[in-house]
């Protein structure tokens, strides 16, 4: 009889099966980290420190507005206007969220009266905007430009979401789409979010907005997928007359009803 079967023990040279291996394929969460004595294994500690450093860098590294402006202008949507909030520095921006919601000067923002306006804000992850902003804006323009008029985009620095309401009022657009860097975590440091506000104006609250988050392909939501969700929200907001808690994402049900086959990346 085979020795392994008779004794019920594994061969000495066989590698132990990692119980968590398959589960790790389905999540970016830190699970099954293991143990070395009373602490974590050294490689897990180093991974954590690297992720923490990446998150800190994503928050503090300044947005390269010159490069982003070139990328945005290449999309053919017009030369982007630059706006900054009343936060005079990154340190003040992090300490004073209220200043990030107020514009320093909107004199250079042209009034277009277009259907849709786009604001690209650095938010809490300028890195996310650099990595994904132009490509996501391109996908949104491709999805929306045949149905709506688009205002020239605005790049906003030291920006919170509500800064877009002031910019939108200056532009005179009916619906505002803010692309902004999301708060970095220890799994993802370059995630971008979209905030949609119909009939934007200063004083709008989070209850008046719709959010599409976790945009960072290939691990997160893809650009084309996010654009389809936003297109559904824009259409719904115009029919409903408002955005926010009363407006639901119907992009998935619309896709299923059209006979398309959904695939999961």
248: CB partners within 8 A, 6+ apart: 236
Residue count of the chain, please give it.
Answer: 265
182 is in an annotated binding site: yes
Q: What share of the chain is helix, strand, coil (3-state, %, to 5)?
A: 40, 15, 45
For residue 154, say whether it is annotated as part of any ligand binding site.
no
Contact 147, 154 (CB under 8 A): no
Beta-carbon contacts of 233 under 8 Å, excluding residues fewer than 6 positions away, are 196, 210, 212, 243, 247, 249, 251
Q: Which of 221, 217, 138, 133 is nearest to 178 (CA)?
A: 133
Q: Is 161 annotated as a binding residue?
A: yes
Give the residue numbers of the binding site: 161, 182, 211
Give the residue numbers of the binding site for adenosylcob(III)alamin: 161, 182, 211
């Amino acid at each position: 009889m085979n020795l392994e079967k008779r004794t019920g023990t594994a061969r000495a040279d066989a590698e132990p099966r990692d119980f968590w291996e398959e589960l790790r394929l389905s999540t970016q969460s830190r699970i099954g980290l293991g143990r070395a004595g009373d602490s974590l294994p050294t490689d897990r500690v180093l991974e954590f420190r690297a992720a923490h450093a990446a998150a800190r860098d994503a928050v503090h590294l300044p947005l390269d507005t010159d490069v982003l402006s070139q990328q945005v202008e290449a999309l053919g949507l017009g030369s982007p206007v630059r706006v900054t909030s009343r936060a005079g520095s990154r340190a003040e921006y992090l300490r004073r969220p209220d200043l990030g919601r107020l514009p320093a000067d909107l004199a250079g923002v042209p009034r277009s009266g277009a259907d849709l306006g786009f604001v690209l804000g650095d938010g809490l992850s300028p890195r996310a905007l650099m990595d994904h902003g132009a490509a996501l804006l391109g996908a949104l323009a491709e999805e929306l430009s045949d149905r709506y008029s688009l205002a020239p985009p605005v790049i906003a620095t030291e920006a919170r979401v509500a800064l877009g309401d002031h910019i939108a009022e200056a532009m005179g657009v009916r619906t505002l789409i803010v692309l902004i860097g999301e708060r970095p975590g220890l799994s993802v440091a370059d995630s971008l979010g979209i905030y949609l506000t119909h009939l934007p104006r200063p004083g709008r609250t989070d209850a008046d907005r719709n959010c599409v988050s976790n945009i960072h392909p290939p691990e997160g939501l893809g650009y084309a997928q996010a654009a389809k969700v936003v297109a559904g929200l824009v259409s719904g907001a115009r029919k409903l007359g408002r955005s926010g808690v009363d407006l639901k994402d119907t992009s998935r049900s619309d896709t299923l009803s059209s006979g398309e086959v959904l695939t999961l990346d």
